[in-house]
């Protein structure tokens, strides 16, 4: 899944725990582990995650 790869790379770059990522982006600390277990996010959830990661990358520049 493209989204899980995107999140994984972000977590590696930032050294952020996956539970913190889920809590910050979606108020769901199990989000990343649920994705790994097969959870299929909807389009709004995908958009939130992508926006968060893009904003975080922009802020790091």
Q: For residue 60, what pLDDT band results from cuts at 50, 70 and 90?
A: confident
Q: What is the pLDDT of residue 22?
A: 98
Residues in the chain: 61
In angstroms, the CA 52 to CA 46 distance is 10
pLDDT digits (tens, 9 = 90+) for 1-18: 799 999 999 999 999 999
Contact at 8 Å (CB) between 48 and 54?
A: no
The model carries a pTM of 0.92
Which whole number is the average pLDDT over 13-30?
98
Q: Is the pLDDT of residue 24 over 90?
A: yes
**Average pLDDT value over all residues in the chain:** 96
């Amino acid at each position: 899944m493209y989204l899980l790869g995107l999140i994984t790379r972000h977590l590696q770059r930032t050294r952020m725990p996956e539970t913190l990522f889920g809590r910050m982006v979606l108020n769901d600390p199990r989000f990343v582990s649920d994705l790994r277990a097969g959870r299929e996010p909807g389009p709004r959830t995908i958009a939130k995650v992508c926006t968060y990661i893009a904003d975080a990358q922009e802020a790091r520049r």
